[in-house]
A and B are shown apart, each in its own frame.
Chain A
Amino acid sequence: MKKVLIIIPAYNEQANISRVIHRIRAVVPDGDILVVDDGSMDATPGIARESGCIVLSLPYNLGYGGALQTGFKYAYKNHYDIVVQMDADGQHDPSCIKDLICALDEGGYDVIIGSRFLGKGDYKTSLIRRVGMLLFGAVASLVIRQRVSDPTSGFQAINSRVIRFFSKGDHYPVDYPDTDVVILLKRAGFRVSEVPVKMHPRASGKGIHDNILGPIFYIFKMFLSILVVLCRKLPKTATDERRKEYKTIDYRL
């Protein structure tokens, strides 16, 4: 029986967290739920603790990537086999968790990304966001030579090798880990695949990209991150055969 940890980074999500936790429990009763409280000022950590989850309360706000990585480090230290990343706002539908885990186990992949654009459900978002996602998806698909339909999806399942990879070293991006992480994983030799999932629009509260400067900063930072990931030396990871395989591929842009 594989040990599964569901990591939910949460910042001021008292309105949504309880419902999210209960829905997840209904689907995965034998998995552990870890809520990483990213310096919330509201009742989020208290509610999560009452719902019986493991709660790690960060001393200050680290950001989504930092909170998630805290979860990875916890998962690594406690020898979990599989980690499922989920958002605390209820956008990720828990009914798809089993799909992610099965694809990971049976498909022989290291990372399964839940994509909202592969047919299941129908996710509507603002035009700007859709264009952005298409753009980054196209860039990622081109670079890793594999179709990436949802580059910014935070609904993913990873195995123990990737858990270790994310926990150690300084290559995990702390700001907005999206597209650059997908590219990083492929460069490091991990097997990545996508699976259709259902996502809902945000129920209430604020999102991460809600201020004006946010999206502009995000775009520049993401392009820079992608460029840097491509130019960096391959991190020590995966298996050596796969690293050798990657060295023969010409990555000159």
Chain B
Amino acid sequence: MGIQFRIIVLIGGLGLVLFVFNLVRKRKLRETYSLLWLLTGFVLLFLSIFQDLFWDRFSRLIGIDYPPSALFLIGMGFLFLIVLHYSVALSRLSEQNKELTQEFTILKDEFERLKTKIDGER
């Protein structure tokens, strides 16, 4: 991996970590959802700094000749994880939404009936 590429990855990783941290700080992103993003950023950072220790060994292990391809693979791998995490979170939110909708509907009916009763007693 050339030095220019390493610098780009370093800046990218650092930028990601700082940007995500700032989003959490401003309350735009919840801590729970930021953890995977921060991990991704740190891994990118780590790889750009310590490329010599891992790179050739890792690339050879998974059978890739062109090291930047391995980096893209790792980046994509993390993206898959993040998107999967979001699918799980979405599922949970859908379930909660359903519960709220159902409770609300029943509550609304009880409320209407109560209101009619009170209006009737006036």
Contacts and interface: CB of A to CB of B under 8 A. Distances in A.
Q: A and B, one complex? A: yes
Interface of A: 59-60, 170-171, 173, 175, 217, 220-221, 224-225, 227-228, 231-232
Interface stretch (B29-37, B62-70, B110-118): B29-37
A231 B25 contact: yes
A171 B32 CA distance: 14
A232 B25 contact: yes
B81 to A, nearest CB: 14
Contacts of A60: 95-96, 99
Contacts, number: 32
Given A59-B100, A59-B103, A60-B95, A221 B35 contact: yes
Interface centre among B21, B31, B34, B96 (most CB of A within 10 A): B31
Contacts of B21: 227-228, 231
A231 B34 CA distance: 16
Q: How large is the interface on B (under 10, 10 to 19, 20 to 34, 35 or more residues)?
A: 10 to 19
Closest 6 CB pairs of A and B: A59-B99, A60-B99, A59-B103, A231-B25, A224-B31, A60-B96
A231 B20 CA distance: 13
A225 B30 CA distance: 10
Interface in B15-48: 21, 24-25, 27, 31-32, 34-35, 38
Contacts of A175: 31-32
A170 B27 contact: yes
5 contacts: A60-B99, A220-B35, A221-B32, A224-B38, A228-B24
A225 B31 contact: yes
A220 B42 CA distance: 13
A234 to B, nearest CB: 13
Interface centre among A59, A221, A227 (most CB of B within 10 A): A59
Contacts of A170: 27
A170 B21 CA distance: 17
A225 B25 CA distance: 9
A224 B103 contact: no
A217 B36 CA distance: 11
Interface centre among A60, A173, A175, A231 (most CB of B within 10 A): A60
Nearest to A220: B35
Contacts of B103: 59
